[in-house]
Amino acid sequence: MAVAEGFRHLRVDANGEVLRVEVVSKEIQGPDVAKAFIAELTEAVGHDCGKPLLLDLGRLRYLSSMGYSALFKVVKCAKERGRPVRFCRMHEDVRVGAEAVNLPLVVAIHETAAEALEAFARG
């Protein structure tokens, strides 16, 4: 995955059928970090608008409430643009929080990137 210009928390790979965005930070905590994270995710969703979006959360170990809000925003922005969106490789600690805020009700969360890519291929 290529590191996008100016992104501190993300790596973006637009070289395929799916726009792959990997969260490279281990934690998103505190309002300033969360605001930067939200801004980066919003910008990433704007890249290659016609492609489905895969958000890889495999490195992330802690996500604040503002971070979860950012994930909901990503899903909303993608859906408003008519882009399918899926998440993958969510760490168990982050998944517990995601389930507490009902994130799996609005976006499919897959164990692996391969599973998510297969799901995109199936439609």
- What is the domain extent for residue 68? 10-122
CATH number of residue 62's parent domain: 3.30.750.24
Q: Residue 3: is its pLDDT beyond 50?
A: no
Does pTM surpass 0.85?
yes
47 is a domain residue = yes
Total domains present in the chain: 1
Asked if residue 4 has pLDDT above 60, the reply is no
In a domain, 83, yes or no: yes
Following DSSP, what letter does each residue of 19-70 receive, concatenated?
A: EEEEE--SEE-SHHHHHHHHHHHHHHHHTTTTS-EEEE-TT--EE-HHHHHH
* Residue 43 within any structural domain of the chain: yes
Residue range 45-67, pLDDT digits in tens: 887 667 899 999 999 999 999 99
Tokens of 105: 């009700």
Task: Give the pLDDT score at 81.
Answer: 85
Q: Is residue 59 part of a domain?
A: yes
Tokens of 86: 């899926």
- Pairing label, strands 10-13, 53-56: unpaired
> Could you report the per-residue pLDDT of 60-102, keeping only the tens digit for each?
999 999 999 999 999 998 888 889 999 999 999 999 999 999 9
In a domain, 2, yes or no: no
79 inside domain: yes
The CA distance from 10 to 18, in Å, is 16
